[in-house]
Chain A
Amino acid sequence: MPKLLTGNEAVARGAYEAGVHFASAYPGTPSTEILENLAQYEEVDAQWSPNEKVALETALGACIGGARSIVSMKHVGLNVAADPLFTASYTGVNGGLVIVSADDPGMYSSQDEQDNRYYARFAKIPMLEPSDSQEAKDFTIFAFDLSEEYDTPVLLRLTTRISHGRSPVVLGERTERKVKDYSRNIEKYIVLPAHARRLHVEVENRMSRLRALAEKSPLNKVEMGDRELGIITCGAAYQYVKEACPNASILKLGFSYPVPHELIREFAKQVNRLIVVEELEPLLENEIRALGIKVEGKELFTRFGELSTEIVRKGLGMEDETSFKPEDNIPLRPPVLCPGCPHRGVFYQLNKLKAVVTGDIGCYTLGALPPLSSMDTCHCMGASIGTALGLEKARGKEFARKVVAVIGDSTFLHSGITGLMDVVYNKGTITVVILDNGITAMTGHQHHPGTGYTAKNESTSKVDLEEICRAVGVKRVVTVDCYDLERLGTVLKEEMSAEEPSVVIARRPCILWVRERERAFAVGESCIGCGACIGLGCPAISLLGTAAEINAQMCTGCGLCAQVCPTKAIVRL
Chain B
Amino acid sequence: MGISGENVLMVGVGGQGIILAGRIIGNAALKMGLEVKVSEIHGMAQRGGSVVTHVRFGRKVYSPTIEVGKADVILAFEKLEALRWLHYLRPGGTMIINDQEIYPLPVLIGKGEYPSDILENIQSKVSDTLALDALKIAVEAGNPKAANMVLLGALAAKLGFEQELWHEVIEQTVPPKTVETNIRAFDMGFERIKSPGACI
Contact = CB atoms under 8 A, between A and B. Distances in A.
Interface string B113-126: 11100000000010
Contacts of A366: 47
B80 interface: yes
A327 B83 contact: yes
Contacts of B91: 323-324
Given A1-B30, A108-B44, A167-B64, A330 B49 contact: no
Contacts of A4: 23, 26-27, 30, 36, 38
Contacts, number: 167
Interface string B83-126: 11011011100000000000111111111111100000000010
A324 B106 contact: no
A243 B42 contact: no
Contact of B109 (A243, A322, A325, A371): A371
A324 B44 contact: no
A30 B42 contact: yes
Of B23, B61, B83, which is in contact with the most chain A CB atoms at under 10 Å from its CB?
A: B61
B4 interface: no
B13 interface: yes
A318 B87 CA distance: 19
Interface residues of A, number: 58
Contact of A109 (B40, B43, B80, B115): B43
Contacts of B105: 333-334, 336, 537, 539
B47 A239 contact: no
Contacts of A544: 108, 110
B50 A161 contact: no
A538 to B, nearest CB: 8
Nearest to B51: A333
B198 interface: no
A537 B115 CA distance: 21
Interface string A341-378: 00000000000000000000001001000110000000
A4 B64 CA distance: 13
B56 to A, nearest CB: 10
Interface string A291-332: 000000000000000001110000000001111111100111
Nearest to A110: B43
A166 B48 contact: no
A67 to B, nearest CB: 30
Contact of A335 (B49, B68, B84, B114): B49
Of A236, A239, A324, A338, which is in contact with the most chain B CB atoms at under 10 Å from its CB?
A: A324
A35 interface: no
B87 A323 contact: yes
B151 to A, nearest CB: 18
B110 A165 contact: no
Given A167-B37, A331-B106, A539-B108, A336 B113 contact: no
Of A161, A239, A333, which is in contact with the most chain B CB atoms at under 10 Å from its CB?
A: A333
A2 B30 contact: yes
Contacts of A236: 64
A541 interface: yes
Contacts of A320: 69
B45 A109 contact: yes
Of B38, B64, B90, B144, which is in contact with the most chain A CB atoms at under 10 Å from its CB?
A: B64
A168 B27 CA distance: 9
Contacts of B62: 239-240, 242-243
Of A308, A443, A537, which is in contact with the most chain B CB atoms at under 10 Å from its CB?
A: A308
Interface of A: 1-2, 4, 6, 29-30, 32, 108-109, 132, 160-161, 164-168, 236, 239-240, 242-243, 308-310, 320-327, 330-338, 363, 366, 370-371, 442-444, 531, 534, 537, 539, 541-544, 553
Q: Which 8 A-B pairs have the closest CB atoms?
A: A109-B43, A323-B69, A331-B112, A29-B43, A335-B47, A335-B49, A333-B104, A166-B38
